Amino acid sequence: MERLSRELQKIRGDIDALRVGVTTGQMPGQEASSGSEKSVAQQLRELNDRLIAIETNQTEILNQIGSTPKVSKHEDTQADKAKHDEQEHESSVATTLGQLQKNFDRKKFKSVIDDAPNVIKTSAKPKDKSQAQYLFAESLFKSGKHREAALEFNNLLDMKPSKKLLLTSKLRMGDCFRALNDSATARLYYEELADKHAKTPEGEKAKERLREIKGQSTAGKSEGMSGHSLRGSLKRLEKEADSATR
């Protein structure tokens, strides 16, 4: 019985020692076996100290980041876009007919509209002036500015351009007036092309346009034949353009 009692006491002591070891990280009586070796408790203490130092540094870094003014992703994107648009505009400004044509081919119609008047003014050759004027008028048309386009195509006709540009301008004049709900005046341009230049591509397109507006009322047709004149229609457009700019 005494032997069993001693064994039970020893087991209880080992259990208590294990409890202390789990709690403190160091088994009772356990130390480093030499100067270069460390006990488990010492290693745990050092690791704990390193962990505390890392957490402290991390907290300081986060505080510094938090005090730095933040730029939202939207603001950053808007700034980049504005800078890109400014650089693109500077690089796309046309001062020659070649540059103007390049922007037109790239469908940069707004740039063409902005730059064409200066190119027209500085072009020495009549052919270059006519081509720049065409690009100007056509860009206005493609931008939906039909009133301004009609006036600029009429200016192109006054320059007495090549036959190709002349026929194209007359067709576009009809298109402009048609877009402005003045089919009567549009018919006058289409009919001239269909009658006098029937075999040209412009004449063929004019015939198609006439077929498309053929369903107009009798009153509208009569007005187109007698009540309208090209000069009167253009004068009206000039007055409307003047009023719009005031």
Q: Tens of pLDDT along 202-227? A: 999 999 999 999 876 444 544 444 44
Helix %, strand %, coil % of the chain (to 5): 80, 0, 20
pLDDT tens sequence across 16-25: 665 666 566 5
Quick one: average pLDDT of 78-87? Answer: 61
Quick one: average pLDDT of 97-114? Answer: 97
CB atoms within 10 A of CB 141: 20
Q: Could you give the CA distance from residue 14 to residue 213 in angstroms, rounded to a whole number?
A: 109
Helices 230-245, 146-158: inter-axial angle, 10-degree rounding: 120
Whether this prediction's pTM lies above 0.75 is answered by: no
Quick one: average pLDDT of 143-150? Answer: 97
Q: Could you give the CA distance from residue 183 to residue 175 in angstroms, rounded to a whole number?
A: 9
Quick one: average pLDDT of 225-232? Answer: 63
pLDDT at 88 > cutoff 70 = no
Quick one: average pLDDT of 54-81? Answer: 65
Quick one: average pLDDT of 71-97? Answer: 67
Q: Could you give the CA distance from residue 187 to residue 222 in angstroms, rounded to a whole number?
A: 11
pLDDT at 31: 55
Rg over alpha carbons for the chain, rounded to the nearest Å, is 44
pLDDT at 186: 96
Helices 97-105, 126-142: inter-axial angle, 10-degree rounding: 30
Domain map of the chain by residue range? Answer: 95-143, 162-246
